[in-house]
Structure 1
Amino acid sequence: MFDKKLKTYQQIIEQMADGVCLVTLDGKVACWNGGAEAITGWAPHDVLGKSCCDVMVRFEDEEGNALCDLIPSFIATNKPGQRNLFLKLRDGSRALVEGSISPMFRDGKPEGIIITFRNILQFTALRPFQLKTQKLERLIPICGWCKKIRHDDETWEQLEAYLAEQGFGDFTHSICPVCAEKIFSKRIYLESYQNVCKAISTSLSVEEVLNLIVTHVVRVMNMKASLVRLLNREKNQLEIAAHCGLSESYVNKGPVEYDRSIDDALAGKPVSIYDITEDRSSKYRKEAEKEGIRTILSIPLRFKDEVIGVLRMYTAEPLAYSDEDLKFLAAIAEQAAIAIMNARHFEKSVSREREYLDIFKAVTKTISSTLNFKEVLNTVVRMIPAVMRLKAATIRLLDDTGQKLVLEASHGLSEQYLRRGPVDTEENIREALNEKPVAIYDVITDKRITYKKETEAEGIKSVLALPIIAKGKVIGVLRLLTNVHRTFSQDEIDFTMALAEQCGIAIENARMYEKLHSANTD
């Protein structure tokens, strides 16, 4: 009887027009009905067992947050909710859907969340036209800049003249105290903004940029203290990056994971706690009270569409921030995020270039230390995968006829794969022999790979084929292979081309030495 009911429920879910998806606590898709397939184009076998953050499905809310990251909050509240979500369709486009998300419990224990969704793009597309029609029916068009009124005949008239014609009397002009204060405040904001931006843009050191941010925010905004936490996505924690005006005991009070203001800030919203001493839900309320903190403002550090951390500001007295204050501080935080990412990029570039130089020196020193032909080849195929974190490498050299490639050295590959057959006709090899580096992201789908079955069985995902050149001639091909999909950057291609060129010189030197040695022996 139970099995019959279960099958009936399964049939009902399968035949629903709405998409139904069950996501387990670890973010894996456990159910995917026919409605979900019809909306997205992804069949159950495409998504079952995959992460809901996977590139194929990728549930995201309107803020760009992956739904996988929000599972704990739905479980914690134990309440259903509705959100507009974006899904990646099979054809590569994105669809806006209306999602209903409900936590799922069995015997009192959480098992995941159930998502039902329907495509609402066709309805949202009509909404702007509906709003526009409604506004035209009930509003008088006024220029937002000069405040003129637009008549039905498309002519424009001064607001004062229009009102006078309507019998509202004559008008004089002055400035109200509120506007006067706004103009003065905007001037102060502009000067403060310029000072902060100028300060944080003077350095390309991440640590120095972070310290400049917190110190100048405290000074310019007359705060008690300021702190920057950067998001560590692997640990799901906000880690302290810099602070000013706070004691070490407060700074090191404990990890920040789930906090209402932090959660909202990471969702892209500035959040102010007016008086932390009255906020019973705050995890570190007692520590804040001891530190003399009353108001805490959390502003997201956003770079493009990604929130990279939180800028927090602290006051010694309760402070209600105005909308103008929040806009100004959001602009400061945006510039701070840009400065942080620029400094990170610079340090990463310098570090990568230094690493490339060290690797280049190590490889060239090693292959130049011997004139034994086989030893040079084996050193190259062994050392390059180690320093570049690759699966394997092979060197094939042209024979005396210059028509056939002969495998001379390999590392990290099985004998079965190496004996798969001739590679001279493979398109990636032919391109490399024409002095062109060839980067292949997916060997299974790329037509330039011939032995797809053997390549897949070997666990190879990506390939970089490079010509080995000596004395202006191509003498062979160096192939670098990975066991994970990898997009080789232009810097990596240029670097490995330089390595291949050094290999060509070392190979040619070793060949000449062996010929001379053989001639002298004879």
Structure 2
Amino acid sequence: MEAQQILKPFVEVSRALCDGADSRSVMNLIARRLTEVLGFKGVVVKVYDADRRRLELFSSYGLTENFLFSKPAPGSVCAAVPPKVVQIEDVGASDNPDYEAMMVEGIRAAAIIPVEVEQQPLGMVVLFSPEPRTLTKEELQFAEALCSRGFLSISWERRVEGLIERERHYLKNFQEIAQAINSTLTINKVLQLVVTKITEVMGVLGTSVRLLDNKTNTLYLAQAHGLSERFLNKGPVDAQKSIAENMAGRIVVIEDVYTDPRIQYRAEVIEEGIRKILSIPLQVRGKVIGVLRIFTGDREPFHDLEIQFAAAVAQQCAMAIENARMYQRVKYEYQQLLIDFGYEGSSS
């Protein structure tokens, strides 16, 4: 293979990626260039779906619809991703379940190349030749390198789509929580909704809201979801011993409860199956009135979107608590005023 033959497809694919072409357009270009440069009859690109359960046709070039969409025979070269490159040098000389379909299509040889992204199998490329042949080491390297660019494009596109969908998911649930908070002054209902929603939306072990008792400087339990009674009643939670940075208005992420010195009840936390904690102060006008704590087992670190979502909910929660307290104070003062003026019977 000449250097110019190899270089030109890479330049074209790089240009397409820089121009913002979607992954399917990029892979269509790769399939066409592989066919032309290597002298094949056609190419099939199959990719696992987002759940990696099903292998789907993603792109092709040079092959008929009848061949592409016919049901593959058991053991077909297009049915499963092989662990390594497989070459069928001569269809007629091998025990191949696709023999009849390939002969009708004018195919005499095939090469199946598995492709990985971040050490995970993402799919495969199948090259079909009109003549019996074996790909050289250089030809295989060229095909693998060019295909990897296309599969990387697929992987990144899925990642971006996943992030966008996740943002929509969090935004939708934040709006639901905010709407519910604004519709009631019953603080227990608000807090129960908050801890339940956060636990479900973030897929964590449990969530709690503790409010600050200024007289004792302890954090008493206001509401929780997903956590055992034994854990919740483990003992008084000292605001200066249990993730004290919250009292300064800082969000704290505990990545490892085994080693982090900011844990007050380490043994009880570990026994509950908790491994990571996201702890967010509840603040009103710069004053900390409590904490929202999110507990999870072994998992990846909390990402920025999760922290932003939880912090936004915590802010709504703090305002709801303050509004409810203000309402109770005003209601009490109004009732006292009625009593002072001799209207004890009018308490509404």
Alpha-carbon separation, structure 2, partners of 1:396 and 1:480: 11
Q: Is 1:273 aligned to 2:91, yes or no?
A: no
Give SS of 2:264's match.
coil
Letter in 1 for 2:315: E
Aligned to 2:65: 247
Alpha-carbon separation, structure 2, partners of 1:473 and 1:426: 15
Letter in 2 for 1:189: I
Aligned to 1:411: 225
Q: Gaps spanning 5+ residues in structure 2: where?
A: 337-348
Q: Deviations over 1:288-315 (max 9, x none)?
A: 3333322212233233544432122212
Give SS of 1:300's match.
strand
C-alpha deviation, 1:421, in angstroms: 0.3
C-alpha deviation, 1:200, in angstroms: 5.0
Q: Which residue of 321, 328, 332 maps to 2:135?
A: 321
Aligned to 1:298: 112
C-alpha deviation, 1:462, in angstroms: 2.6
Asked if the contact 2:76–2:98 (Cα under 8 Å) also holds between the matched residues in 1, the reply is no
Asked if the contact 1:214–1:243 (Cα under 8 Å) also holds between the matched residues in 2, the reply is yes
How many pairs were matched up? 335
Query: 1:497 and 1:428, CA in 2 relative to 1: closer, same or farther beyond 3 A?
Result: farther
Asked if the contact 1:218–1:224 (Cα under 8 Å) also holds between the matched residues in 2, the reply is yes
Asked if the contact 2:112–2:124 (Cα under 8 Å) also holds between the matched residues in 1, the reply is yes
Query: 1:235 and 1:205, CA in 2 relative to 1: closer, same or farther beyond 3 A?
Result: closer
With 471-480 and 203-212 compared, the bigger mean Cα shift is at 203-212
Alpha-carbon separation, structure 2, partners of 1:204 and 1:359: 32
Query: 1:219 and 1:471, CA in 2 relative to 1: closer, same or farther beyond 3 A?
Result: farther
Query: 1:468 and 1:216, CA in 2 relative to 1: closer, same or farther beyond 3 A?
Result: farther
Q: Gaps spanning 5+ residues in structure 1: where?
A: 1-181
Give SS of 1:447's match.
coil
Q: Is 1:482 aligned to 2:290, yes or no?
A: no
Asked if the contact 2:170–2:201 (Cα under 8 Å) also holds between the matched residues in 1, the reply is no
Asked if the contact 1:261–1:273 (Cα under 8 Å) also holds between the matched residues in 2, the reply is no
C-alpha deviation, 1:468, in angstroms: 1.1
Q: Deviations over 1:350-383 (max 9, x none)?
A: 2222222222212212212212222222221121
Query: 1:198 and 1:503, CA in 2 relative to 1: closer, same or farther beyond 3 A?
Result: same
Matches for 1:89-238 after TM superposition, within 5 Å: 185-200=2-17, 202-203=19-20, 205-218=22-35, 221=38, 223-231=40-48, 238=55
Q: Deviations over 1:211-234 (max 9, x none)?
A: 454355445655332222235798
Letter in 1 for 2:65: S
Asked if the contact 1:390–1:483 (Cα under 8 Å) also holds between the matched residues in 2, the reply is yes
Asked if the contact 1:439–1:463 (Cα under 8 Å) also holds between the matched residues in 2, the reply is yes
Aligned to 2:339: none
Letter in 1 for 2:290: G
Q: Is 1:502 aligned to 2:320, yes or no?
A: no
Alpha-carbon separation, structure 2, partners of 1:474 and 1:192: 60
Asked if the contact 2:107–2:131 (Cα under 8 Å) also holds between the matched residues in 1, the reply is yes
Alpha-carbon separation, structure 2, partners of 1:306 and 1:486: 18
C-alpha deviation, 1:396, in angstroms: 0.8
C-alpha deviation, 1:394, in angstroms: 0.8
Give SS of 1:416's match.
helix
Alpha-carbon separation, structure 2, partners of 1:418 and 1:377: 16
Alpha-carbon separation, structure 2, partners of 1:428 and 1:246: 67
Aligned to 2:272: 458
Q: Deviations over 1:182-224 (max 9, x none)?
A: 6xx2112212222233335544645554445435544565533
Where do 4+ consecutive residues of structure 1 move more than 6 Å? Answer: 232-237, 255-263
Q: Deviations over 1:387-415 (max 9, x none)?
A: 11122211111124482222111122232
Query: 1:285 and 1:226, CA in 2 relative to 1: closer, same or farther beyond 3 A?
Result: same
Asked if the contact 1:429–1:477 (Cα under 8 Å) also holds between the matched residues in 2, the reply is no
Q: Deviations over 1:121-159 (max 9, x none)?
A: xxxxxxxxxxxxxxxxxxxxxxxxxxxxxxxxxxxxxxx
Aligned to 1:31: none
Matches for 1:10-21 after TM superposition, within 5 Å: none
Give SS of 1:193's match.
helix
Letter in 2 for 1:410: A
Letter in 2 for 1:499: V
C-alpha deviation, 1:425, in angstroms: 5.3
Give SS of 2:243's match.
helix
Aligned to 2:344: none
Instruction: Output the aligned Cα RMSD.
Output: 3.2
C-alpha deviation, 1:444, in angstroms: 4.1
Letter in 1 for 2:167: E
Q: Which has the higher contact order (CA 8 A, sep 6+)?
A: 2
Alpha-carbon separation, structure 1, partners of 2:86 and 2:79: 6
Alpha-carbon separation, structure 1, partners of 2:21 and 2:241: 44
Alpha-carbon separation, structure 1, partners of 2:18 and 2:125: 17
Alpha-carbon separation, structure 2, partners of 1:212 and 1:516: 70
Aligned to 1:114: none
Aligned to 2:307: 493
Asked if the contact 1:224–1:315 (Cα under 8 Å) also holds between the matched residues in 2, the reply is yes
Give SS of 2:236's match.
coil
Query: 1:520 and 1:223, CA in 2 relative to 1: closer, same or farther beyond 3 A?
Result: farther
Letter in 2 for 1:312: V
Query: 1:360 and 1:218, CA in 2 relative to 1: closer, same or farther beyond 3 A?
Result: farther
Asked if the contact 2:55–2:123 (Cα under 8 Å) also holds between the matched residues in 1, the reply is yes
Asked if the contact 2:251–2:280 (Cα under 8 Å) also holds between the matched residues in 1, the reply is yes
With normalisation by structure 2, the TM-score equals: 0.82
With normalisation by structure 1, the TM-score equals: 0.57
Alpha-carbon separation, structure 2, partners of 1:404 and 1:310: 59
Query: 1:483 and 1:276, CA in 2 relative to 1: closer, same or farther beyond 3 A?
Result: same
Give SS of 1:198's match.
helix
Give SS of 1:266's match.
coil
Query: 1:345 and 1:232, CA in 2 relative to 1: closer, same or farther beyond 3 A?
Result: closer
Aligned to 1:380: 194
C-alpha deviation, 1:513, in angstroms: 2.1
C-alpha deviation, 1:469, in angstroms: 1.5
